[in-house]
Amino acid sequence: MPDAKTPVVPEDIYQLGWPEDPRLSPDGRWVAYVRVSVDKAKNSYRRAIWLAAADGALPPRQFTSGQGSDHSPRWSPDGRRLAFVSNREGEKDQVYVMVVDGGEARSLTCLETGARSPAWSPDGSQIACVARVSAEDREREDRGEKTAPPADKYEAEIRKVEDRRRREQSEDPRIALRLPYRTGTTFLDEKRNHIYVVPSDPDAEDKTPRRLTTGDGNWGPPGWAPDGQSLVATRQLDPQQESLFLGRCLWSVPLAGGEPALLAGPPYSYAGNGPAAGGDGPLTSPDGQWIATLRIPEEKATNRNTRLAVLPAAGGEARDLTIELDRSVMGFRWTPEGELLAAVEDRGDLGLYRVGLDGAAERVIWGRRIIQSFDTGPKGRVTFTASMPDNPGDVWMADTDGDEPVRPLTQLQAKYLAGRTVVIPEEIWYTAPDGLDIQGWIVYPTGFDPAGQYPLAVFIHGGPHTMWGPSFVSLWADWQSAVGRGYVVFFCNPRGSEGYGQAFQEALYDGWGEADYQDILSGIDTVVARGGIDSNRICVTGGSYGGFMTAWLISHDQRFRAAVAQRGVYHLMSFYGTSDAYELIENEFEGPPWERVEKLWRHSPLAYAHQIQTPLLILHAELDYRVPISDAEQLFALLRRLGRTVELVRYPREGHELTRSGEPKHRIDHLTRILDWFDKYAT
């Protein structure tokens, strides 16, 4: 019987929803998670909170309506209520609470700039959150002036219009006093993140959020101490520190008010927690003795592993727990029994380790998957969202003691996958010219014949220290769509990638383009030598640093028939002067940029652009403030003036995350253009 399945195509992005941020109830019976779906008609995304029985006995059920964007579910300590964040009543996120047994969602905050990162107090009476406020806002609060919630939807709409008008007036003209002054897709203002607490009872007599922090610093998400008398969060030591990533210290914030106490600071920068823990703040152990946090050394920070560290809650020095593990930690949780679980990157996969206070680490949940976010519960239970080579995302349940096999709680992709041909990447290891072993993957089309002559599509990751693997969900549709068009796909983790230890990651230091160049070419040679590849039809593409490497490769090697450079860095000095991540240059190259102009030019693809002969498509977002579009404009202008085959496509309204969270139509167009460009010049 013929296979009725069809290949993956870019338009499948409309069908590819995914889960986020799973949370186990205190009794371990339920998992609350966010289900993301694509709204094709509105060219946007919907987020709603769902509940799944942890034992799988009942099918998942939708908990919130998803009228706006519902996310960040957080259980009350008694498990009877869920707090979450939603923009259902306006443009700004606010904190809501809802009884699990049924009823309507009730708003707890009505802050003008919104609220996020909710965290329940240990007794369940209060919720801490973070909100952006200006010095003027803080002065008004200190005078006791309150903003009443809108009386009805009509008043809410009027406020929305007035708020938009005030914002437009305040931004005309825009005045930059600090760096960075823009990030994401927006310009920054003088508002700063501050920590608030609010009663968790929506019927409380006074439910006005109370601000705990003062001054000009930016506070990260808070975590409560077990006694409920203080919170722990990160903030710059110097509020004037001009960095998105560095200079952050760990502080204890008293609930009763007063000055925060510095717990830990330089020579490390503290991140609180990580994306695999839903972006929560630092976490105190259930017995109250230890504070766990993530941190990196500030020297060569972007070349370092992210470490899991603990410090005594009563005071004392912090110490790293994962030095010997020699891998980056992407998030952590305490179990109710007082153990630490950490999400760890390793050779293309991301799984869970149990980490002891003595630094001993052992794998507890592993396999060919990438765990995006996880949570712990009683008796060793763990829930997590994960992608795998044959599944772009579901919610899973497991037992850290190994008594219960990993099993799915959702089947979000089942219907879609039943009608699609999905090809599993094949792992390879090969040797670079200097003898270093490099890990890569090949994805062969269905029915691949080694005696044939297939085009090869090479994908290169960004970062530059990102780690890819066959379960990497952001490129799942790209790889599968390329295979569906008949390409053999190759990708690898050249030196500089995370997941292979500190020395491997730091090997890219002061050597962009040169250090990893041969790693990628050696991988291509290995794939071609295995047979079935037409060496005259090799294509290459990559985004961000992968865009840098795409331009670098085609300016140094003429084997490529077609290339697509996405949101790339092409001129390191101009990148330093325009990016919100300018300290990347300071951390990746020895010495300040003004003393290394010749060096930075030598490591810029633009310096070799006159050598490019390969037809090049340049894709870039107009509001990309991580890698501003000026880099793409320079590369396009130079090649155009040289009469080379080049095309620049600009995406309005989009930033650096276009291919991951941009408008669905733009994501589809972006991927389609890559494949069409390859087809045009390599088939």
pLDDT tens column, 404-424? 678 999 999 999 999 999 999
State how far the Cα of 655 lies from the Cα of 661, in Å rounded to an integer: 9
What confidence score (pLDDT) does residue 1 get? Answer: 41
Q: Which helix (H) or strand (E) holds 682?
A: helix 664-682
Q: Is 232 exposed, middle or buried (0-12, 13-18, 19+ CB in 10 A)?
A: buried
Q: Which helix (H) or strand (E) holds 165?
A: helix 153-170
Residue 349 has pLDDT above 90, yes or no: yes
Residue predicted with more confidence, 567 or 207: 567
Residue predicted with more confidence, 347 or 402: 347
pLDDT band at 395, cuts 50/70/90? very high
Residue 396 has pLDDT above 60, yes or no: yes
pLDDT in tens, 468-498: 999 999 999 999 999 999 999 999 999 999 9
pLDDT in tens, 492-504: 999 999 999 999 9
Least confident range from 132-136, 248-252, 332-336, 551-555: namely 132-136
Residue 141 has pLDDT above 90, yes or no: no
pLDDT band at 402, cuts 50/70/90? low
The domains located in the chain, with CATH, are 64-211 (no CATH), 426-682 (3.40.50.1820)
What confidence score (pLDDT) does residue 400 get? Answer: 87
- Residue 667: both structure tokens together: 């994501």
Residue whose pair of structure tokens reads 């990751």 in the numeric block: 461
What confidence score (pLDDT) does residue 636 get? Answer: 98
* Strand, helix or coil for residue 138: helix
Averaged confidence pLDDT in the chain: 94
683 contact partners, CB below 8 Å, separation of at least 6: 455, 486, 537
Q: Which helix (H) or strand (E) holds 38?
A: strand 30-39
DSSP state of 148: P
Give the residue-averaged pLDDT of 80-94: 90
DSSP state of 593: G
pLDDT in tens, 507-533: 999 999 999 999 999 999 999 999 999
Strands (E), 367-519: 370-376, 381-388, 391-399, 407-408, 420-421, 426-431, 437-443, 454-460, 488-493
* Strand, helix or coil for residue 271: strand
pTM for this entry: 0.95
- Range 88-96 contact pairs with CB under 8 angstroms and sequence separation of 24 or more: 89/150, 89/153, 89/156, 90/156, 90/159, 90/160, 91/160, 91/163, 93/69, 95/127, 95/129, 95/198
Residue whose pair of structure tokens reads 């801490």 in the numeric block: 128
pLDDT band at 558, cuts 50/70/90? very high
State how far the Cα of 453 lies from the Cα of 19, in Å rounded to an integer: 39
State how far the Cα of 30 lies from the Cα of 75, in Å rounded to an integer: 10
- The helix-helix angle for 664-682 and 476-484 (nearest 10°) equals 40
Residues of the chain above pLDDT 90, percent: 82
CB 426 within 8 A of CB 444: yes
What confidence score (pLDDT) does residue 616 get? Answer: 98
